Amino acid sequence: MDTETKNYVDANMRAVKAENSASFAKLEAKIDGITPGASWQQNAGVVFSGMVVTLSLVFGVLAYASDRFDSGLGSMGAVEKALDVQHERNEQQDERLDRILTALEARNAQAGAGTEEAN
């Protein structure tokens, strides 16, 4: 590459660099001119929209859940019968365990008395 070509390329590179610097300076000035933050009307709009969405979700869940709740109430009779049967079974098992524990305590007491007589 000869000197003239090198000088030509260097001059063009400097010109492109200067154009880019000017473009970036304009962009930076525009960005600096933007005021951050929102007005109180915009903030109020966002809050109001959020409240509407939240209430819509709550009412939607309640509308869906009310059907499920009503069907649950309809089946309470069967559930109460099953609970009564389970309570009876629990009482029978408690009585059986009490008899077993009483028998074991009596057996341990007899074994303990037999050990004391041997000493």
Question: Per mean pLDDT, which range of 10-14, 51-55, 64-68 is the poorest?
Answer: 64-68
Residue type, 80: E
What separation in angstroms does the CA of 6 have from each of 9, 16, 19, 99?
A: 5, 15, 20, 109
Question: What is the pLDDT, as a whole number, of residue 86?
Answer: 93
Where are the chain's structural domains? 1-35, 37-74, 75-119
Region 6-20: mean pLDDT is: 90
Q: pTM for this one?
A: 0.33
